């Protein structure tokens, strides 16, 4: 099922390496094309909020299949979009319908024994990370050979494969609640009020992924400029810098099980801060850029695995709804960071993006320290 998670999440990232080509096609600048991944992330947050809670009420396998079909239609819209504004609309719809992995993960991790939940979650998130890397690399290569619209056709084929995997390997589970959709929405507010773990993890997730998205939403357009002047294939290949960290996802889960999420989260936030300090050297030394991206990917992955592990443990009876709250906050952070990163990149290049990332990383550490004052039993 890690492969299914990889395919599902790839929808969020395939547009990033081809932003310069889309900008050229529609005569748009960096800030305008930067709205495409921003709207995709915002759409994803909306899909998490509206669709993922339904997995507690209806068969997740059936729900995922319907969502993937809608994702296919959204990609078809991206492929034939005649204008930038239509591309905005269809990109947002791609985000709304790309939430399948966030339904799979709480269901599958919930079936694992409690002592192995971090390991299972790490493996599934490792699949998502693999999808992220593969999407960027494949998108750049396909676009350079066949043009940017062909990237969306490739994604339609990937979704067909995803439907086959879900039909054959996704376990069928019984609903955990009979609440109506509106009541599910109200119940999520109750989860936030009740759980300090969920509040802490959501705030840290927001800031961490905002920092992460600030650079990845702008990297391809920045690399297309001097002093690098890289094409989409080369820009997409930068996604490979996180390949080593994909192999560490299970190890991060095991470390979280053994050390506790509180320590692991602080390590992840600190690595994220360090990565943006190194990003300041990106206009002068490519090794500084690569080192920055490597540390950023590791810090983001550590935070994601540790925070989700403790949220699932704290709210075991409502994992889909708890995951909805956490990941909605997470991707709202991604949309915010991508938007601010695009503005900063347009005016100040890599240095502007570095400042945005440092700011969000500092907030992540401050939130972590603030919640450390709570009893250990409340924020694990």
Count of structural domains within the chain: 1
By C-alpha distance, which of 228, 208, 209, 210 is closest to 220? 228
The enclosing H or E element of 174 equals none
Assigned domain for 245 exists: yes
Mean per-residue pLDDT over the chain, rounded: 86
Residues 265-324 pLDDT 10s: 888 899 999 999 988 876 677 888 888 998 998 898 888 888 888 887 888 777 778 878
Assigned domain for 358 exists: yes
Residues of the chain with confidence (pLDDT) below 70: 111-119, 175-177, 244-250, 253, 282-283, 372-380
- For the record, the structure tokens of 124 come out as 């599934």
At residue 377, the pLDDT reads 43
Assigned domain for 293 exists: yes
Note the maximum CA span of the chain.
Answer: 58
CATH number reported for the structural domain that contains residue 205 in this entry: 1.20.1250.20
Assigned domain for 279 exists: yes
By C-alpha distance, which of 178, 169, 314, 301 is closest to 245? 301
At residue 112, the pLDDT reads 64
The three state secondary structure string of 81-140 is: CCCHHHHHHHHHHHHHCCCHHHHHHHHHHHCCCHHHHHHHHHHHHHHHHHHHHHHHHHHH
Residues 301-317 pLDDT 10s: 888 888 888 887 888 77
Assigned domain for 330 exists: yes
Assigned domain for 379 exists: no
Assigned domain for 94 exists: yes
At residue 378, the pLDDT reads 46
Alpha carbons within 13 angstroms on the beta-carbon side of residue 48 total 25
Instruction: Give per-residue burial for 99-120: e unless 16+ CB within 10 Å, then b.
Output: bbbbbbbbbbbbebeeeebbbb
At residue 68, the pLDDT reads 96
Residue 81 domain boundaries = 2-171+179-371
- For the record, the structure tokens of 343 come out as 């503005």
Instruction: Give per-residue burial for 268-299: e unless 16+ CB within 10 Å, then b.
Output: bbbbbbbbbebbbbbbeeeebbebbbbbbbbb
Assigned domain for 259 exists: yes
At residue 238, the pLDDT reads 84
């Amino acid at each position: 099922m890690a492969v299914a998670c990889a395919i599902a999440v790839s929808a969020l990232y395939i547009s990033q390496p081809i932003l310069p080509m889309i900008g050229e096609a529609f005569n748009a600048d960096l800030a305008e094309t930067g709205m495409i991944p921003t709207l995709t992330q915002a759409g994803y947050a909306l899909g998490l909020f509206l669709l993922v809670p339904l997995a507690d009420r209806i068969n997740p396998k059936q729900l995922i299949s319907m969502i993937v079909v809608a994702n296919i239609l959204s990609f078809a819209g991206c492929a034939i979009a005649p204008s930038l504004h239509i591309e905005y609309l269809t990109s947002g719809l791609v985000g709304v319908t790309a939430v399948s992995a966030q339904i799979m993960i709480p269901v599958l991790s919930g079936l694992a024994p409690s002592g192995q939940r971090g390991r299972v979650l790490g493996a599934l998130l490792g699949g998502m990370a693999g999808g992220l890397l593969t999407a960027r690399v494949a998108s750049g290569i396909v676009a350079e050979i066949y043009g940017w619209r062909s990237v969306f056709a490739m994604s339609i084929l990937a979704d067909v494969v995803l439907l086959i995997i879900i039909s054959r390997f996704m376990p069928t589970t019984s609903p955990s609640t009979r609440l109506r959709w509106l009541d599910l929405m109200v119940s999520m507010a109750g989860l936030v009020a009740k759980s300090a773990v969920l509040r802490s993890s959501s705030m840290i997730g927001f800031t961490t992924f905002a920092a992460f998205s600030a650079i990845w939403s702008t990297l391809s357009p920045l690399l297309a400029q001097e002093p690098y002047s890289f094409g989409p294939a080369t820009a997409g290949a930068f996604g490979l810098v996180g390949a080593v960290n994909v192999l560490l996802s299970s190890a991060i889960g095991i470390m979280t099980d053994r050390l506790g999420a509180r320590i692991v989260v602080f390590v992840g936030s600190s690595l994220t801060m360090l990565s943006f300090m190194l990003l300041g050297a990106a206009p002068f030394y490519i090794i500084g850029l690569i080192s920055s991206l490597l540390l950023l990917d590791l810090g983001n992955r550590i935070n994601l695995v540790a925070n989700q592990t403790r949220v699932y443990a704290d709210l075991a009876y409502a994992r889909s709804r708890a995951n909805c709250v956490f990941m909605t906050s997470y991707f709202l952070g991604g949309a915010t960071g991508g938007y601010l990163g695009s503005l900063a990149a347009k005016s100040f290049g890599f240095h502007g993006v570095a400042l945005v990332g440092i700011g969000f990383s500092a907030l992540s550490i401050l939130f972590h320290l603030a919640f450390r004052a709570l009893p250990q039993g409340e924020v694990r």
